Homo-oligomer: A and B are copies of this chain.
Amino acid sequence: GIGAHEVIIETPDHYKEICDLDSAHIELVIKAYYQRYVDLQGDSRFKYIIIFRNYGKDAGASLEHPHSQLIALPIVPKRAKEELRGAKQYFDYRGRCVFCDIITQELEEKKRIVSENESFLAFNPFTPRFPFETWIIPREHCSDFGHYAQSKDKKNIVELAKILKEVLLRIKVALGDPSYNFILHSSPLREKEMESYHWHIEIMPRLVGVAGFEWGSGFYINPTAPEKAAECLRDVKV
């Protein structure tokens, strides 16, 4: 076994959540994400990096101080493999990136969009596992987060910081400061740009428990329609 586990401390202030920070500060957090991502990518023993944030006890947070985490793994993990495989199957069938198609569909239907700016879209996916599950995705096709953050316009990071702050704030206000996990999904390390994959962030408020049925089946019971959740998140005043 080999790996790396890093903790990204987001602020010296124990009581400031990420959505309370100003946007320029969140840019620095994202910069720390991609600087560590790119640095660790240099170690050929690592095959995948997962960046995530656990907020609140119900989301499994063991430390109170605002922080994100980065774990570098010597293999591509099960869930990432499944997502990559599904995206590849869609690409082979349609000749297009499934995430790009989702973006097009969401922009057409509008009902599930929570927020958008020039570079990013935040929406509740059509088949969410959890109530108020929200994804943030770059409009432009790019499979690798490190590559996107490094090579593209500085503007993109500014826009990512803005939309991340806004969405987390909407979740906090609309749902009464719930526990949540967010997970950055990117392609395996040192893959060439992949036509079939598209990096993104998945935010999962932890409003309902995961119980026997979910463990036994891998299916999720979600009592909240994504259109309803998106409306609620859009309507709240932030």
Q: Is A153 an interface residue (CB 8 A)?
A: no
Give Cα distance in the complex from A60 to B213, angstroms: 10
Pick from B69, B183, B185, B219: contact of A78, CB below 8 A: B219
* A116: min CB distance to chain B, Å: 24
Extra pairs beyond A52-B213, A60-B212 (6, CB < 8 Å): A50-B217, A59-B212, A73-B217, A73-B219, A183-B212, A210-B210
Are B216 and A52 in contact, with the CB atoms below 8 A? yes
Contacts of A215 in B (CB 8 A): 52, 79, 181, 183, 204
* A144: min CB distance to chain B, Å: 16
Which A residues contact B (CB, under 8 angstroms)? 50, 52-54, 57-62, 69, 71, 73, 77-80, 82, 181-183, 185, 204, 208-219
Give Cα distance in the complex from A185 to B62, angstroms: 32
* A117: min CB distance to chain B, Å: 25
Give Cα distance in the complex from A77 to B53, angstroms: 29
Residue of B nearest to A50 (CB): B216
Contacts of A59 in B (CB 8 A): 209, 211-212
Are A219 and B77 in contact, with the CB atoms below 8 A? yes
Interface centre among A53, A57, A185, A219 (most CB of B within 10 A): A219
Contacts of A181 in B (CB 8 A): 211-212, 215
* A87: min CB distance to chain B, Å: 16
Give Cα distance in the complex from A58 to B58, angstroms: 9
Contacts of A217 in B (CB 8 A): 50, 71, 73, 77-80
